[in-house]
Amino acid sequence: MIPELIPIWISIIGNFGFPIAITIYLFARFERKLDNLEAIIKHLSDVIKADNKK
């Protein structure tokens, strides 16, 4: 976790509660993983198309 974001996280936990803060954190991580997965699938699709053209 980036040290500059710690005060923001403390504020979120204080205002909204621990479960909501954890949910937001997990959604942010999950979104990044989905973006990576999308890029990998796109690359795989391009490789398959190139292989079919041969």
Instruction: Assess contact for 20 and 12: CB atoms under 8 A.
Output: yes
Scored b (16 or more CB within 10 A) or e, 9-46 reads: eeebeeeeeeeebeeeeeeeeeeeeeeeeeeeeeeeee
The predicted model scores a pTM of 0.53
Predicted pLDDT at 1 = 61
Q: In this predicted model, what pLDDT tens digit does every residue of 1-21 receive, in sequence order?
A: 678 888 888 887 787 788 887
